[in-house]
Amino acid sequence: MNSETNCVFCRIDKSEIEAQFLHTDEFCFAINDINPVSPVHLLVIPKFHYRNFKEILDDDPKLVSHLFSLSDQLSKAHRVDQTGFRLVINQGGDAGQEIEHFHMHLLAGQQLDFPSA
């Protein structure tokens, strides 16, 4: 998938919008969320513009493994791998996805409530 010119995450990747990169490689990058909901709130974002999880699975299923592996590395780097963390993927507006570029939230650093189903 190509980058989208108005996508915030694509613009961050191209350094058009300033961000502190916690990690970057040829496939993805990680940054702090600008509106954190927990003491540790990181975003793991593929560099290619995928709107949702299905697009990644259809185009590059190995990227999924890479994103989860990076999340594990980040949990260790932030010393939350032992106390626990949550990975959240919001898909679509009804689920709370605000930016139409696939990304994962890594949440940790406090007791996280579990919403009832």
The pLDDT of residue 115 is 67
Of the pLDDT bands very low, low, confident and very high (cuts 50, 70, 90), residue 114 is confident
| Mean pLDDT calculated for residue range 34-61 | 95
Of the pLDDT bands very low, low, confident and very high (cuts 50, 70, 90), residue 94 is confident
* Active site annotation includes 49: no
- Rounded Cα distance between 68 and 82, Å, is 16
Of the pLDDT bands very low, low, confident and very high (cuts 50, 70, 90), residue 96 is confident
Please, which residues have CB within 8 angstroms of residue 49's CB and are 6 or more apart in sequence?
Answer: 1, 2, 3, 4, 7, 9, 10, 101
Closest CA to 67 of 109, 30, 20: 30
Annotated catalytic residue: which of 41, 49, 66, 103? 103
The pLDDT of residue 17 is 95
Of the pLDDT bands very low, low, confident and very high (cuts 50, 70, 90), residue 65 is very high
Question: Is residue 110 within 8 Å of residue 39, measured between CB atoms?
Answer: yes
SS (H, E, C) 13-30: HCCCCCCCEEEECCCEEE
* pLDDT(30) > 80: yes
pTM, entire model: 0.90
| Mean pLDDT calculated for residue range 4-30 | 94
